[in-house]
Amino acid sequence: MATRVGGAFCVLLALALLAGSGAAMAQGDHDPYAGPRRALVAELRAMADARAGGRARIDAATLKLIERVPRHEYVPEAQRRHAYRNRPLGIGHGQTISQPYIVALMTTLARPGEGQRILEIGTGSGYQAAVLAESGAQVYSIEIIEPLARRAAQVLREQGQDNVVTRIGDGYYGWQEHAPFDAIVVTAAASSIPPPLVEQLKPGGRMVIPVGAAFMTQNLMLVEKDDDGRVRTRQILPVRFVPLTREAE
């Protein structure tokens, strides 16, 4: 539920979309979104190459996940024509589906893999959960806004994402029944890192979370817990996320 703060790649995207769409038609591709999806991956790959070696890089394994997950299935019908643009899109209730670059970056930082257990805070559209699950990880995702949670659960089922379990609730407290987690991905900005999430992170685990004031520029943080339980944090890059919604106390 975020956008990257910084320069745009509009020219590259426009060229890539045209090239990708042409390739899809030339090949007689029956999926009208196949070309735009390949073009998006090409744009992300170009961005990854430009940032190679930096904290905001995207790895090749993540690009393969992005290429396999149909983003257009996770956005409202009215937004489908924009599904493969590298930008956030509204999904209702004041929420967004995150910019693909941010989804790819957070996935790279989380390092999902076969057999891992991953907690996601903020199911939103279900797209980030689907990308994580595509790695073979078991994903537990919490969404506090009931209509979004129900729609995401339905779409994930329809897309065959059987290794995603969703729940309606306040993600601040995590999901103790399934802890500890190899990775935790938070898709809304918290004013500080929630202690319950740190506690539920497995030794050797990683948490990716935006931290900062609501509707202001925040910082995407990587939280790492070593094998002895010591925690360290690293700032990755400035971002802008919707705020983490909490239940009324």
Instruction: State the average pLDDT over residues 114-141.
Output: 98
Instruction: List the single range of 70-74, 167-171, 217-221 with lowest mean pLDDT.
Output: 217-221
- The whole-number pLDDT of residue 52 equals 65
Strand order in the sheet with 231-241: 2-4, 231-241, 218-225, 201-211, 181-186, 117-121, 138-143, 164-168
- The whole-number pLDDT of residue 36 equals 95
In the chain, domain spans: 2-241
Structure tokens at 53: 């070696």
Per-residue pLDDT tens over the stretch 231-248? 999 999 999 998 998 876
Catalytic residues: 98
Per-residue pLDDT tens over the stretch 26-62? 334 588 999 999 999 999 999 887 776 677 889 999 9
Band (5; pLDDT cuts 50, 70, 90): very low
Output the pTM of the full model.
Answer: 0.86
- The whole-number pLDDT of residue 8 equals 39
Per-residue pLDDT tens over the stretch 157-181? 999 999 999 999 999 999 999 999 9
- The whole-number pLDDT of residue 248 equals 63
- The whole-number pLDDT of residue 14 equals 39
Contacts 24+ apart (CB under 8 A), 82-88: 83/33, 83/36, 84/17, 84/33, 84/36, 84/37, 84/39, 84/40, 85/13, 85/40, 86/9, 86/13, 86/40, 86/43, 86/44, 87/3, 88/1, 88/2, 88/3
Give the architecture-level CATH label for domain 2-241.
Answer: 3-Layer(aba) Sandwich (3.40)
H-only helix segments in 51-136:
60-68, 100-110, 127-133
- The whole-number pLDDT of residue 247 equals 76
